[in-house]
Amino acid sequence: MKARITGDPRKLLSLAVVLALGLGAALAAQQGTGTQPKPAGRQPRAAIYDKAADPKVEVEKTAQRAKKENKRILLMFGFEACGWCHKLHDLFASNQEIRKTLSNEYLVVMVDIGSPNASSLLETCKAALTPEELKKPFGYPFLTVLDANGKVVKAQPTDVLEEGDHHDPKRVLDFLIGSATPHPDAKTVLEEALSRASAGDKRVFLIFGAPWCGWCHKLEDWLTQPEVAAILDREFVVTKIDIDRMNGGKEVMKQYRSTDSGGIPWYNILDLKGKSLATADGPDGNIGYPLKPREIEQFLALVKSQSRHLDAPELEQLHRSLDAAAGRIEKQIRH
């Protein structure tokens, strides 16, 4: 039996209006209308290529850093409208292991295929492909690994790195690790430095650092300035041990440093037999990069105490150079 609705027709009409209005408000809320804020539109993705940049110039400039940091150069050919190019670039940034490997082992150069000299550079890189790879359809992104002299080490089509609608992180990581520069042995690096020091009647200025250490890079930048290198080379064989990228790097550091406290860069000066004569540990702990006036004074005192040939004008020149570098760094920090 159906239920019957009885009562005053005016009241029933008023109830129907109220129910209709309530239902309309509920639907409006569900649809994001009325007082509900409208969802923001899709944000345009950031550009990853610069069509005006000349890749030949970029590679030459990057090669200088690659030599100094013992890294390889990773070229990523593509163009701004290439969706797979953005996917791979996003993976480079979002995957922790891939990001670390890129930071430690490579300097990345993004090459827009429409930029000046891109076509000739691409042809040079494609020449490293196997005959079987050349027969396949060619797509982007296209990766090429160069050594620090700009020579092609590995050309890599990226279709084999794909899995469905994305790049497989393991395949990408395996490619990057397999194409990286071989890691030297830290003990061998130290032995070679001691041998050069013996031949030149010098001492070894041994520095411990890592790729992720910003102050290590700043110290290396200062040490490799021509006027600084010319002075220190008279007295020392300046040698770097990368505790992350050299086999046995941490073990060599433990031979000279009993604790990891104090951070890096950390350095010591060795005699021809590898015995430590003086270290970066001053009254306030590890000097590290000499930025503050007190740190600069302590660093120069360390150098002077182990110098047999440097004169006062040369030490003063080092002082002025450190002061100038500190000024530039402080300015960068403020901005």
Q: What is the pLDDT of residues 204-240, one digit of tens each?
A: 999 999 999 999 999 999 999 999 999 999 999 999 9
pLDDT, tens digit, 9 for 90 and up, residues 242-284: 999 999 999 999 999 987 678 999 999 999 999 999 999 989 8
How confident is residue 68, by pLDDT bands cut at 50, 70 and 90?
A: confident
pLDDT of 167 above 70: yes
Confidence of residue 11 (pLDDT cuts 50, 70, 90): very low
For residue 217, the SS3 value is helix
**Cα–Cα distance, 114 to 118 (Å, whole number):** 7
Domains and CATH numbers, the chain: 55-179 (3.40.30.10), 186-330 (3.40.30.10)
What is the Cα–Cα distance from 328 to 315, expressed in whole angstroms?
Answer: 20
pTM tops 0.85, yes or no: no
The pLDDT mean for the chain works out to: 88
Residues in a beta bridge with 156: 143
**CB neighbours (10 Å) of residue 2?**
4
CA angle at 193 for the pair 322 and 70, rounded to the nearest 5°? 70
Question: Per-residue pLDDT tens for 29-44?
Answer: 444 444 445 455 566 7
What residue type is 35 in one-letter code?
T
CB count within 10 Å of CB 183 equals: 16
Integer Rg of the chain from CA: 31
Question: pLDDT by residue (tens digit) across 85-141?
Answer: 999 999 999 999 999 999 999 999 999 999 999 999 999 999 999 999 999 999 999
Contact 169, 87 (CB under 8 A): no
> What is the SS3 assignment for 108?
strand
Cis amide leading into 141 (omega within 30): yes
